Chains A and B, each alone.
Chain A
Amino acid sequence: MPTIKIPTPLRKFTAEKAEIEVGGATVGEALTAADAVHPGLLAKILDDEGKIRRFINVYAGDEDVRFLDGLQTAVGTKDEISIIPAIAGGAA
């Protein structure tokens, strides 16, 4: 089963677990499965339109899924999905 790494601010939804194992063949399915066990988690990751929130990144391995197939990105049983707050900014 894929593993999802949970950032510190969202661990209140996972009983403080830093990583959880879930089912699912895509990133979206894995996140939905995680939300079924840990209600409230998904709403922190996706906006009302079902898109990944701007200040959240979902990585499959070392790549942001925005550069892959988004929530449709396929994941294998040994893959690692990381939810990581964004590091960004800029002048003005």
Chain B
Amino acid sequence: MPFARDPAQLVERYGRQLLVLGADFDGQQRLHHLAAVFGADASPVAQAAAEVAARYLVGAGLGRAVAPSAWSAGLVEQDRALRLLDDPALADPPVAQFWFAVRPYGASVDVALTDAGPGWQAGATGPARVATLRLDLGAPAEAGDAVTLGALAADLIVQDALALEPLPALVNVDWRDPTAPAVAKVPRATEGSGPTAPAWAPGLLAEWRGSPEAVAVVVAECQARYPLEACGLLLRDAGGALIATAAPNLQDRYHAIDPAAYPRTARTAYKLNERLIAKAADAGQTLVGIWHSHCDAGAYFSGEDVRCAAPNDQPLYPGVAYLVCSVVGGRLAGIRMYHWDEVRLAFAAELDATTAAPVQEQSQD
């Protein structure tokens, strides 16, 4: 890579005021209204990429930021007008959340832009949009790649803010193929082609985590049922409180009567009695989520999960979230919450409202 290898040097290099071509007053106003929340995994590369993105955006005129204290002071030195926020929860929309991570294939950044759209302003209500930018290097990213990832991620937001290029759903940057376009974009569904309400609904994961009772029900059941999958419901009672319930996993019963139609056992599948939803409704409770565990597997939304939850790209329970728990060796190893994204016609992981991090490796011990 032609860049300096030291992340500190990369940050220094990009810690300059930027001149963004095509920016007009309205575009600069949008950036000024924006609050950007920067998060990264523990790797120095991801951390440096997050700081590069922050420097880039501050240089372009970002108004508000939530950043790790290790380097947030440097952002204010870069632009004295920047407002540093301590807590993402205090950031009024529009908000852009970033999560940088080193991956086996290179690196990625998830971007969630809420209350945005043409002409977006502080406090304005609009659709949420989620983008994933993948830097495909064929190997885990190194320090020299941080600036590429950080700058490209920041540029997605800048381009959107300046109404030059709308936020795409997915950007693949493949450096292994020199003949491929530098940036190959998969366009989003066009406006008006479907519902614009965000399926990416921040907050449910944090809400669940904030309820010791709800957490205890899920964690205890996941660990008690191991090595079989556990499952249950997330319900909201009439008073608005979130409740978690455990349900018997009936998969083995289905497998026993019809192994051709139900080839999996409870070791790798779950099935619950859907009448529980009606019973909950009779008790004044509304279904908001469905949870289940993966045994000795990650907290990803598997192909089987997708096939069952949204056959033919049609979610069977619109608006209902899916909480997936990874249980490894009988212990909870990771948790993620998934929502149906009606724009991308896919399930997207919820970014944690507290840390801006997709929760996948966090231990609940």
Contacts and interface: CB of A to CB of B under 8 A. Distances in A.
Interface of A: 5, 8-9, 54-55, 57, 59, 62, 64, 66-67, 82, 84-92
Interface stretch (B51-59, B83-91, B273-281): B273-281
A88 B311 CA distance: 11
B305 interface: yes
Given A87-B274, A92-B268, A92-B303, 6 more contacts: A9-B316, A55-B316, A84-B278, A87-B231, A87-B316, A91-B295
A59 B275 contact: yes
26 contacts: A5-B278, A9-B314, A54-B261, A62-B275, A64-B273, A67-B257, A84-B274, A84-B275, A84-B277, A85-B317, A86-B274, A86-B316, A87-B272, A87-B290, A89-B269, A89-B305, A89-B307, A90-B229, A90-B269, A90-B292, A90-B294, A90-B305, A91-B268, A91-B302, A91-B304, A92-B302
Given A55-B308, A55-B311, A67-B257, A90 B302 contact: yes
Contacts of A86: 271, 274, 308, 316
Interface of B: 229, 231, 251, 253-254, 257-258, 261, 264, 268-275, 277-278, 290, 292, 294-295, 297, 302-305, 307-309, 311, 314, 316-318, 322
Nearest to B305: A89
B304 A89 contact: yes
A92 B300 CA distance: 9
A56 to B, nearest CB: 9
A45 to B, nearest CB: 13
B269 A88 contact: yes
Contacts of B304: 89-92
A22 to B, nearest CB: 19
Given A9-B316, A55-B316, A89 B302 contact: yes
A88 B303 contact: no
Contacts, number: 81
Contacts of A8: 318
A54 B271 CA distance: 12
Nearest to B309: A89
A16 to B, nearest CB: 15
A92 to B, nearest CB: 6
A82 B316 CA distance: 15
Closest 9 A-B residue pairs measured CB to CB? A90-B269, A85-B316, A91-B294, A89-B305, A91-B297, A84-B274, A88-B271, A88-B308, A89-B308
Nearest to B314: A9
A8 B258 CA distance: 28
A84 B277 CA distance: 10
A49 to B, nearest CB: 11
A19 B289 CA distance: 24
Given A89-B305, A91-B229, A82 B275 contact: yes
A41 to B, nearest CB: 16
Given A84-B277, A90-B264, A92-B297, A66 B302 contact: no
Contacts of B251: 88, 90
A75 B311 CA distance: 30
Contacts of A87: 231, 271-272, 274, 290, 308, 316-317
A86 B294 CA distance: 18
Contacts of B261: 54
A62 B273 contact: yes
B295 A82 contact: no
A85 to B, nearest CB: 4
Nearest to A92: B302
B87 to A, nearest CB: 34
